[in-house]
Amino acid sequence: MDETRVDETRISRRDSLLKLGGLLAGGVAVGGWKVADSLSAGEGPEAVASGLVSCVLAPEQTEGPFFIEDQKVRRNITEGRPGVPLTARLTIVDVSTCRAIRGAAVDIWHCDAGGVYSGTTSATEDDRFLRGIQRTDAKGLAVFRTIYPGWYTGRTVHIHVLVHIGGNVVHTGQLYFPDSLTDAVYRRSPYNRRPNRNTRNAADSIYRNGGKRSTLRLRKSSSGYVASITMGVQRS
């Protein structure tokens, strides 16, 4: 990995917390990164159900076994991995007000076209491809350049996401793709070298728990796609 590039400032997760924590006050700093798992998922939907707000709380979903701390702040996370180009446009809003949240750190990671995560096996332990952090702008938007993820056994196609604000992980989730689009993408190289993915959205045990609300909107863009979603989060 080239760590000298200006746009790839390597920051540790704790450093990022300290730096980003100053941008947005509020919330009580807590130790550990599993805090999002303990958030009450009921509060947000109730607020939405009150009719006062129209944004949707992004469902909490497991971080899974392939999270790695210490990611780079960088927009382009491909590191040359082959695949169909994907621009991910992730907008973070406060679920109680629907207002954009500026300065949130959005951390994403996903497997490559062959279903492999960087940093998880002896073959990839020093790699960090398809992992990175971006901070949201004034419109709450974080943009990543990546590739359409591949698949691995037992899971439907997904991108993992963590959002942290002011010292708290405020959202742990997964982002999904329409199966029909995945079918089309997987007919292309290099995905077509691994046909017969074995789990689609409806059969995925994690997707079933709210994944529909975390399905990306996709539109074609030159040779690839732009994937967009707005995620409502609770600040603390």
97 or 199: CB nearest Fe ion:
199
Percentages of the chain per state (helix, strand, coil), in multiples of 5:
15, 30, 55
CB of 159 to Fe ion, least distance (A): 8
CA 196 to chain centre: 25
113 or 141: CB nearest Fe ion:
113
Q: Kindly state the number of chain residues that form the binding site for Fe ion, as judged by CB under 5 A.
A: 1
CB of 64 to Fe ion, least distance (A): 5
The span from the CA of 149 to the CA of 199, in Å, is 14
Q: Would you say 29 and 21 are in contact if contact means Cβ atoms under 8 Å apart?
A: yes
CB of 206 to Fe ion, least distance (A): 9
Adjacent-strand bridge partners of 131? 109
Q: Would you say 112 and 128 are in contact if contact means Cβ atoms under 8 Å apart?
A: no
**Six-digit token pair at 110?**
């996903």
Spatial neighbors of 6 by CB under 8 A, at least 6 apart, are: none
CB of 207 to Fe ion, least distance (A): 11
6 or 123: CB nearest Fe ion:
123
Contact flag: residue 115 with Fe ion (CB under 5 A): no
Q: Could you tell me the CA-to-CA distances from 22 to 7, 27, 110, 147, 150 in Å, in that order?
A: 21, 12, 28, 32, 36
Q: Which of residues 14-73 bind Fe ion (CB under 5 A)?
A: 64
Residue number of the CB closest to Fe ion reads 64
21 or 83: CB nearest Fe ion:
83
CB of 111 to Fe ion, least distance (A): 6
Question: How many other C-beta atoms are found inside a 10 Å radius of the C-beta of residue 19?
Answer: 14
156 or 168: CB nearest Fe ion:
156
174 or 234: CB nearest Fe ion:
174
Q: Would you say 103 and 21 are in contact if contact means Cβ atoms under 8 Å apart?
A: no
CB of 103 to Fe ion, least distance (A): 27
Residues at the contact surface with Fe ion, assessed by CB under 5 A: 64
